[in-house]
Amino acid sequence: MACVHEFAMRFTSTPRGARLARRLVSHRLHAWGHPYASPANETVTLIAAELTANAVRHGQVPGRDFGLLLMETGGVLRVEVADTRAEKLPIRGTPGPYGESGRGLLLVDALADDWGVAPRPTAPGKTVWAELRLPVSGATA
């Protein structure tokens, strides 16, 4: 399948970098025909927000950025976030009722049609990815 759209960028491993990545994902999706208030834009932007926040919180290595890749291919929106901490893999689990963290991957799991983790083949670290299938009719809303 040919890639219809692609956006890639590196960001500082800071909360500001994660926030900028989230905003650029929403902006790119809008430019690709998925309006800001559409389910596709809102869902993929939320997934990107969770993955970039995890990269900053759990995958951060001082002086190293995280990378973001956003693609639309064959009716699928895919977001990938790569960081340099291969030993800190995302863990699916259930947080306690009073825990202050641990819900991000539950959101990703609930919102994405598929997601996972892969080692980075050309650099140290890992890539966490998630996919959202678009409606078969081709509608972007």
Averaged pLDDT, groups of 10, the chain, 141 residues long: 86 94 97 96 97 86 87 96 80 62 80 93 89 75 47
List, in sequence order, every residue forming a beta bridge with 82; answer none if it has no partner: 67, 127
pLDDT of the residue at 91? 66
Amino acid 93: pLDDT: 62
Residue type, 71: M
Those residues whose C-beta lies under 8 Å from the C-beta of residue 57, and which sit 6 or more positions away, are 101
- What is the end-to-end Cα distance of the chain in Å, rounded? 22
Closest CA to 108 of 65, 64, 78: 78
